[in-house]
Amino acid sequence: MTLETASPILIVDDYGTMLKIMRNLLKQLGYENVDDASNGAAALEKVQAKQYHLIISDWNMEPMTGYELLIKVRQSANNATTPFIMVTAESKSENILAARKAGVSNYLVKPFNAVTLKAKIDQVFGQRAA
């Protein structure tokens, strides 16, 4: 299974520049149907209102972190299996383990480029097909 270029994607980051970078990278990869949210709480509202095929979220945000968003998304019957890629500037093993336990689909360490992003997306959708 692959992520279709028309599939709705939600990107979440409290840093506006990072949202622009992620949107541009996704556009380079052919994904045009991209919504964004500036924090976990705003993202949760969007997730409850629309079915996304992929969520890409920063870990460190206020008032709701990407980790807290992941837990809420996994608790929702509609979104329990929605692919979720966590983005972070730090690759602490305890964070990676916590995110895995909470059901993260993949992990992306900043900075990253379109090739790395595509590889992570392909891994996630390759895993789902298996």
Instruction: Kindly report the CATH number assigned to the domain that includes residue 75.
Output: 3.40.50.2300
Flag whether 1 is in a domain.
Answer: no
Chunked into runs of 10 residues, the chain (130 residues) has average pLDDT values of: 87 96 97 96 96 96 94 94 92 87 94 95 80
Phi-psi region of 82 (alpha: psi -120 to 50; beta: other; left: phi over 0): beta
In a domain, 114, yes or no: no
Q: What is the pLDDT of residue 128?
A: 65
Domain count, the chain: 1
Identify whether the C-beta of residue 82 lies closer than 8 Å to the C-beta of residue 52.
yes
Residue 126 domain-assigned (yes or no) = no
State pTM to two decimals.
0.94
**Structural domain range at position 74:** 9-109
In a domain, 117, yes or no: no
CA angle 5, 105, 1 (to 5 degrees): 40
Structural domain includes residue 122 = no
Does 56 fall in a domain? yes
DSSP codes of every residue in 85-98? EEEES---HHHHHH
